[in-house]
Amino acid sequence: MIADQMHKTEKMTGARMFLECLKKEGVDKIFGYPGGVILHIYDELYKCDFIKHYLVRHEQAAVHAAEGYARITGKPGVVLVTSGPGACNTITGIANAYYDSYPLVVFTGQVDSKLIGNDAFQESDIVGITRTCCKHNYLVKDIKDLPRVIKESFHIARTGKPGPVVVSLPKDVLTSKADFVYPDKVVLPGYNPTYEGHPMQCKKALKLLCEAQRPAIISGGGVIHSEAWQEIRELAKKLNIPVATTLMGIGTFPQDDKLSLGMLGMHGNYWANLAVSNCDVLFAVGTRFNDRITGCLKRFCKDAQVIHVDIDPCSISKNVHVDIPIVGDAKNVLNVMLKEFNTGKYTYNEDMRRAWVEQIDSWKSKKVIRAVENGIMSPQTVIEHIYNKTKDKNPIIATEVGQHQMWTAQLFKFSKPRQLVTSGGLGTMGFGFPAAIGAQIADKDRLVFNIAGDGSIQMNIQELMTCVDYKIPVKIAIINNGYLGMVRQWQEKLFNKHYSQTPITSPDYVKLAEAYGVLGMRITREEDIDSALDKAIEFNGPVIMDFIVEPFEMVYPWVLAGKPLNEVLLSNNSPEGGLGD
């Protein structure tokens, strides 16, 4: 055991100091993979009883697992890998966390300080490589700086707009000795996130929302990060305003509520896209207006006044012109607006609001037509069965990236935040399975499903061994259509059915499951779906379910790239310009 009673100025190695710093930050779980230059840390871990280390089978998976852990807990996920290829293998996960604002601290080994720049064995310039895809990074040059750097890293990762911080640890810093003194506070004069929105801007925003005839709210991932879901629900209810969510904001507003529009965007609900396209005031909270939710920027909300709340000032007016910008934490801003509304000085036209909601309800009569009806089990049917079997169990649903991801977002009625763990901005195949592992570690008693495609699952399928080693009972549902489905969909619609390199073969997943020592099932008929799901849920361990589905099903609604949100395709037979409004 690393002694708690040790005097705080006792000299210790950087490796031991590293673990003591993590303890100070309340870290008790890390994801990693050992290597030469960080063996001193792993030797200290061997004697450590306050940190649980999870050995993954690939460094990318370590970062994705940490992302899943961060999504569920709201705390920074922690990663430890070696130098060179170990560090380089984390890049995709770091970039994914950066785009989706997952708080992470990623520690990578580095060669001896005197060898940096000499092309030493397993050297890579991880600081340079990650400069554009992390919130901040450090190269520790002196052991005396190590406690300060670690404290700053956790502070930066979790505050303001959350994100990944990378810390490069040269071998000589880990082996040298110094007095251990952990800082009491962080002093970063150049880093001061704005948490309180300007009061006058909040009042102007509230006044405009009350004057609006056709207002709409977009609730983004920032609402989850600031834990502002109760506030946005209360404001929507008080002002009778419909709410759409981004992919990363799913769960911030109950999808079974009458004011819920569900997800908007490229594959969002038809009525959500029309509501946002036809609103006269748009209130966007915690979203950076990614192109997947705006469509053609020149025609996005072209007749609306836009209010944008975000803790990151760089996100405001970056993509969409904003009439009332509010820089601040979503929870604080919404509380100010609610308190102001409760003064009784504000009213809105209830008849106009009622007519607006009724107009949106009429758009809901437009139904998506499933593209293929040839007797083969449809992927949507499988996902609907998973939803019906899990909806009362407060599950965590992780996804990979592709058609199955969009169907999950469309067909699950998420009512709570932190239920969906998915990759938004970077669209990372191979994310879902290790992220599901991290989510299960974060909440060991929850039911965790990873809904996967047959392309994505093969990118990190080696993590089955991690599940076996640590008895992590993640349930994997593979929507197996024999194609890289989303890419094939584009090829069918836009490239004259030239299915170039999109047919993909899979192993026998049942035999693969047997090889790993987990439960495997293949399901080919709709009547067998429920019994397979029951068996998987009851089984106390990891499960692979291989659902063989129709290969040519399409994801609708669909706004083609470059088109405005109100030009929505609902089926293969939709007019090329979309249905419009």
Cβ atoms 113, 173 nearer than 8 A: yes
255 carries an active-site annotation? no
Residue in 121, 196, 318, 511 annotated catalytic: 121
Residue 553 makes CB contacts below 8 A (sequence gap 6+) with 370, 371, 372, 378, 379, 380, 403, 481, 485
Residue in 135, 171, 331, 389 annotated catalytic: 171
- Per-residue burial over 481-509, b if 16 or more Cβ lie within 10 Å, else e, is bbbbbbbbbebbeeeeeeeeebebebeeb
- Closest-CA residue to 231 (of 349, 336, 101, 348): 336
**Dihedral of the alpha carbons of 171, 176, 180, 183, in degrees to the nearest 10:** -50
- Closest-CA residue to 452 (of 438, 437, 432): 432
171 carries an active-site annotation? yes
Residue in 20, 25, 44, 59 annotated catalytic: 59
> CA 193: distance to chain centroid?
22
Amino acid at 352: M
121 carries an active-site annotation? yes
Q: Can you tell me which residue has the tokens 């002002």?
A: 239
- Where helices occur in 196-349 by DSSP H, the ranges are 199-211, 221-225, 229-239, 270-278, 291-294, 330-341
Cβ atoms 396, 419 nearer than 8 A: yes
Residue in 429, 486, 521, 554 annotated catalytic: 486
Residue in 75, 122, 366, 539 annotated catalytic: 122
Cβ atoms 67, 438 nearer than 8 A: yes
59 carries an active-site annotation? yes
What 8-state DSSP symbol labels residue 503?
B
122 carries an active-site annotation? yes
Handedness of CA 548, 552, 557, 559 (dihedral sign): positive
Q: Which residues are catalytic?
A: 59, 121-122, 171, 486
